[in-house]
A = this chain, B = another copy of it.
Amino acid sequence: MQDASIINSRDLAFQLFEVLEAGKLTQRPRYADHSRETFNAALDTAHAVAVEKFATHNRLSDEHEPQFDGQRVILPAEVKEALDALRATGFLAAGKDYEWGGMQLPSVMSFACLSLFKSANMATSSYAMLTMANANVIERFGSAVQKRKYLQALFDGRAFGTMALTEPQAGSSLSDLVTSATPNEDGTYSIRGNKIFISGGDHELSENIVHLVLARIPGGPPGVRGISLFTVPKFRVNDDGSLGERNDVALAGLIHKMGWRGTTSTMLSFGERGACVGELVGEPHQGLAYMFHMMNEARIGVGLGAVMLGYRGYLASLDYARERPQGRRPDNKNPLEPQLPLIEHADVRRMLLAQKAYVEGAYALCLYAARLVDEQNTGESDTARAEAALLLDLLTPVVKSWPSQWCLEANSLAIQIHGGYGYTREYPVEQFYRDNRLNMIHEGTHGIQAIDLLGRKVVMKQGAALKLLAREVGGTIEAARAHAPLHAHADALARALSDLNATVDALLPTLASESERALANANAFLEAFGHVVIAWTWLRQAVVASAALAGSTSAADTDFYRGKLQACQWFFRWELPRVALMLSTSRSLDDTTLRMAPQWF
């Protein structure tokens, strides 16, 4: 795990075992067979496969987009080889029960393993991520028959999965979906409609593809209350699990994107020939609730993906800054002296430190979210499980949006450190930037996350989730007070948290009476909230680093912990102060945008 190019392994170990204390999970019955050694073995295997099979074709599949030859979607052979290796090592079922052939790893460990594949090759790992998200839905809501027909195949990777939500005329407005599902006499449904932006919608990477499709059963209620969820396989599956004839799902076109080019993005036609068979998942008209279950995990996945692209760029620019000689200090322009490495320049170090603060702070958040999934599933009391679920629900829009915005900014800084070279396709950083730009859009745009957070999450259950967050943040603030160098940070975070709570209180009446106005500046609230949460993840890390530093006997560890403290300080001095500004603008209910008439543009 020493290859710096896809991860700083020291940081990963710190996050998992020092901050999140993942080792303690082995005390729980579900993970009793596990130990720090089995956790490390999983990480090592994932790292090796990621480096050897995924990272090696990241540029290749960017340059060779999926092609449709009239019959099949053709991808570079390396994509399938990588996914075969991932299948063979069992990571598609990393968190699943032993009886399904899973490793029964805690979520925090399986997310950590997956983060390595994402870092190595976002596009190729997407096929696996979609498959796992899809399998989760069938496992939770599918019938016994659906599980028998699809689940083992998905866990093994014989079938891959998709999420087929979006339609051309509806975009983010799921209320306006029109794909229909007409009941057949045998209990199946005939699906008819068009879907767009379906990642992994067609390929030859697996024997079968299982689409999870949102559609309307005729006669159901309008809007989101009339949406149902269906399994629609590319090849029908016989009762014995063998593959039957081709279902009526046709590739209507491949979509060409700015980045993330290795993942097929498709337009799909369901039922053009009137012969597309789907099976209802769960109850009719409950499709949106089921899909949100999948989407919430997908949103953590998006956040984690954004982090890993940022992380990869950070490491690349760090290497470059250490190796590339360039210029001299401002107070020494003597051209006869050798040039200094870029990292010696203050502004380059700023760009490295900012990247470190963004990507390691966001990584901490995503792994914490995964740890909450474990708590929700295996927490030691009903209260612990319920609280974890609530907290996760509150944090999901932040987990999805903050990395999408700030780890993209990290990618921009990585380009900047490379100078002109960073803008060329000879260096990897421009691809990370292009790939990462998608994350603010898919699985619910930034704007949708903002409305979800302010309009729903902070007010749900009389603000119970927010109170829970305040309690957790408060705990970290208390812990920080035991470390003198962190006092100022503890005070700053306490102020920001109190400011955040006051802002929510101030907005409540307007949220109830005039939601359009209260939500008009939800974006500023989301940014402020995200900064508070990331400041918290940094203070948590700083508390651990500060304690460890006192007892550190290795120079490498000492350097590492000092770096953590310095990055924390940077975030508190350079980023956290913006929170007060954003919250004050939120509270002001400024109506500048609302009052901008369309004809004034």
Contact = CB atoms under 8 A, between A and B. Distances in A.
A570 B569 CA distance: 32
Nearest to A524: B574
B353 A563 contact: no
Nearest to A226: B335
Per CB-CB distance, the 7 closest pairs between chain A and chain B, nearest first, are A223-B335, A563-B600, A346-B520, A258-B430, A347-B447, A173-B327, A350-B593
A501 interface: no
Interface in A298-348: 318, 322, 324-331, 333-336, 339, 341, 343-348
Interface string A413-454: 001100110111110001001100110111001110011000
5 contacts: A330-B515, A348-B447, A349-B596, A434-B434, A574-B592
Contacts of A569: 592
Given A331-B515, A335-B224, A419 B441 contact: yes
Greatest chain B CB density within 10 A among A170, A318, A333, A592 is at A592
A64 to B, nearest CB: 15
A499 interface: no
Interface residues of A, number: 102
A381 interface: no
Nearest to A408: B412
B600 A424 contact: no
Interface in A569-592: 569-570, 573-574, 577-578, 581, 585, 590, 592
Interface of A: 166, 169-173, 175-176, 196-197, 222-224, 255-259, 265, 318, 322, 324-331, 333-336, 339, 341, 343-350, 352-353, 356, 412, 415-416, 419-420, 422-426, 430, 433-434, 437-438, 440-442, 445-447, 450-451, 455, 514-516, 519-523, 559-560, 562-563, 566, 569-570, 573-574, 577-578, 581, 585, 590, 592-601
Given A176-B339, A339-B173, A333 B423 contact: no
Nearest to A355: B601
Copies in the complex: 2
A566 B592 contact: yes
B347 A255 contact: no
Contacts of A601: 318, 343, 352-353, 356, 563
Greatest chain B CB density within 10 A among A440, A515, A590, A593 is at A593
Contacts of A521: 346, 350
B523 A350 contact: yes
Nearest to A63: B256
Contact of A350 (B326, B345, B422, B520): B520
Given A172-B326, A424-B256, A595-B566, A559 B523 contact: no
Given A438-B423, A440-B416, A600-B559, A450 B339 contact: no
B412 A594 contact: no
Contacts of A438: 423
B598 A343 contact: yes
A600 to B, nearest CB: 3
A381 to B, nearest CB: 37
B593 A570 contact: yes
Given A420-B441, A578-B581, 15 more contacts: A172-B326, A172-B327, A258-B424, A346-B521, A347-B450, A349-B593, A353-B592, A416-B440, A416-B445, A420-B442, A434-B434, A566-B595, A573-B590, A577-B581, A578-B578
A199 to B, nearest CB: 10
A419 B172 contact: yes
Contacts of A566: 592, 595-596, 600
A419 B171 contact: yes
Nearest to A342: B171
A577 to B, nearest CB: 6
A521 B560 CA distance: 24
A423 B257 contact: yes
